[in-house]
A and B are shown apart, each in its own frame.
Chain A
Amino acid sequence: MQSTPGVEIPPFVEPTLGSPTVAYSEWRLIWRSFRQDKLALIGLAIITIFILGAIFAPLLTPYPEQGRGDPNILEKFKPPSVTHPLGTDYLGRDVLARVLYGGRSSLSMGFLVVIIAVLIGVPLGAIAGYLGGWVDEIIMRTTDVFMAFPSLLLALAIASALGAGFTNTMIAIAVTWWPWYTRLVRSQTLSLRERFFIEAARSIGLPGHKIILTHVLPNVMTPVWVQATLDLGSAILISAALNFVGLGVQPPAADWGNMVSQGRLYFIERPWFAGAAGVAIFLTVLAFNFIGDALRDAADPYLRRT
């Protein structure tokens, strides 16, 4: 080794880091932007009210047994009043109690569908993107098959094949939903794979599954949470549609979808009980969209409010 003549090598300098910068985690930045979005906060409030209402339904209504389905024929078709703030339905059940209990079914259906879709779709997307080759080919062609059908139609077909019921409907919707997450995560993983820290992990000798778990998944999840929030509304809407046509939870149990279905025959003269369930669906879907939109903007450094 020789030094090039004429080139002075500066003496070794101990690097200084300066005063510590406040390390903002990504989620903290997202929250700082999110909380400035009024619509998102309204959405968050609506969802919180519906979730608390569903959880504490037995404490909030004087008619919990009607909420679960017991008829009370003598009181049927009562318009909204002090005793029944949202009136009663065609079997005399308190509509507020039905809406609260129906929220248990509709909201949990929405959350479970998205959770299952994320649990299936995200790992498959990470594997497809990380491994590439024929594994990628098989996984992505499978998603193409699922995405070729309109999701409502496919869910309808699967649910009717499996038979009505909460679990079967949930499975049917989740099956139509996971490919979207696979696509999203795969594309994220493809761009991540070009970063050197993935190669550094490989050169250390870290096995593939560990690289996916510790380096790939944590770095692709932010857009997944945004998508999942937006999808909660859509999942509730599709589950309401399946409940409307008689798949999903069976009467006398309440669900916003089957409440609209039962109330549609009386809607012209007595709009309150179909209307109440319809408004509940409308508000939750709208609220999830507000939250999802704000999250999407907040997660994007270019759109983020500061």
Chain B
Amino acid sequence: MSDQILIETRRLSKYFHPRQGLFPSKRGAVRALEDVNLTIYRQETLGVVGESGCGKTTLGRVLLNLARPTSGQVIFEGQDLSALDHNALRRLRREMQIVFQNPYSSFDPRFSMFRSLAEPLLTHTDLRGEALEQRARELARQVGMPEDALSRYPHEFSGGQLQRMAIARALALNPKFIVLDEPTSALDVSVQAQILNLLRNLQRRFKLTYLFISHDLSVIQYISDRIAVMYLGKVVELITAPSLVEGQAQHPYTRALLSAIPEVHPEEKRERIAMPSKAPDAARPPSGCSFHPRCPFAMDICAQVEPPLEQISAGHWSACHLIHS
């Protein structure tokens, strides 16, 4: 079983401290991630969903070591990233890549697409000259872009085309793991579907493992095998995609998110769970269950005791006091 695990996090936390000026702020640290334990299996897509500010982007950045965790560990193929030295980490960068939300700022405006694709190859491989150009053309083809795209500059492309090139760049070093940080949220719907299908095809072809971050549950449902729902830096529910589609989500937050997906058929009416106001300040999280001020089912215990993430059934975990009552 353990060799099927690609990445594991152990009590991973990341706090952002407000800048200390002349007069120290009364605000505490922003807890972007708190005690996150996640396992990502090889060749699966783990979806991460949550509102803005819930820590999902931070999770992706910490997994790739683009941000250092405050505490806890990221274990990639059995290696603890925090224990690796600078050079070992740089070598490990080949194995994990990222695709960003905004394709328009993902490329250096002064770099041709060829230069952008060649950059990772020049940094980590010995490919030069004709071999390098060949590899770049191959990458462009793999993401469905014509070869003459390589001689062009970022401003000549549409968002969808740029996102394809960003995926090509992420593929350049044959990584095992790719963090997809809202790769489709800047694109219009028809292009979104193309990119999602491209990502699926590439995953099968190159045996990739994805961490797919999104605030859009319908996208997440479509692409993911398992889904982690995050709220204020914590994973509140972990569920397989089929169970989510079948409506087996337990956590009130997940159910509220699900009820917010627009209905395809206008006659079908569904219970709409309304959440009051917006998410609380991550620097001052509520006591007990951090969702309790917005939860329609909040009980007395919710304000006092934080519910642990407990297994409900195979592959389904939830952190809510309702499970026991």
Q: Which A positions have Cβ atoms within 8 angstroms of B?
A: 1-4, 6-7, 9-10, 12-17, 20-21, 23, 195-197, 199-207, 214-215, 218-219
Contact = CB atoms under 8 A, between A and B. Distances in A.
Contact of B93 (A14, A17, A203, A215): A203
17 contacts: A1-B45, A1-B223, A3-B222, A4-B222, A6-B264, A7-B264, A9-B197, A12-B194, A12-B197, A16-B146, A23-B156, A196-B106, A204-B93, A204-B97, A205-B124, A206-B119, A207-B90
Interface residues of B, number: 58
Contact of B94 (A1, A7, A15, A205): A205
Q: State the main secondary structure of chain A at its contact with B.
A: loop
Interface in B46-80: 64, 66
B144 A14 contact: yes
B245 A4 contact: yes
B176 to A, nearest CB: 14
B126 interface: no
B109 A4 contact: no
Q: Which 10 A-B pairs have the closest CB atoms?
A: A205-B93, A196-B100, A195-B105, A205-B90, A204-B120, A196-B106, A197-B108, A196-B105, A203-B98, A6-B264
Nearest to A23: B153
Given A6-B264, A10-B193, 12 more contacts: A9-B196, A12-B197, A17-B148, A17-B156, A23-B152, A23-B153, A200-B169, A203-B96, A205-B94, A205-B120, A205-B124, A214-B108
A16 B108 CA distance: 22
B231 interface: no
Given A1-B241, A199-B66, A13 B152 contact: no
Contact of A15 (B145, B166, B241): B145
A15 B141 CA distance: 11
Q: State the main secondary structure of chain B at its contact with A.
A: helix
Contacts of B156: 17, 20-21, 23
Contacts of B169: 200
Contacts of B25: none
A16 to B, nearest CB: 8
Contacts of A200: 98, 100, 106-107, 166, 169
Contacts of A214: 108
Contacts of B241: 1-2
Interface string B170-194: 0001000000000000000010011
Contact of B152 (A16, A17, A201, A205): A17
Contacts of A17: 146, 148-149, 152, 156-157, 161
A15 B106 contact: no
Contact of A218 (B110, B152, B197, B221): B110
B144 A203 contact: no
B300 to A, nearest CB: 38
A10 B190 contact: yes
Contacts of A206: 119, 123
A205 B153 CA distance: 23
B200 interface: yes
Nearest to B164: A15
B106 A197 contact: yes
B248 interface: no
B245 A9 contact: no
Contacts of B161: 15, 17
A3 B64 CA distance: 29
Contacts of B218: 4
A3 B93 CA distance: 32
A112 B274 CA distance: 67
B160 interface: yes
Given A17-B148, A219-B108, A4 B123 contact: no
Contact of B97 (A7, A23, A203): A203
A162 B212 CA distance: 62
B102 interface: yes
A159 to B, nearest CB: 36
Nearest to B154: A197
A195 B103 CA distance: 10
Contacts of A218: 110
Contacts of B173: 204
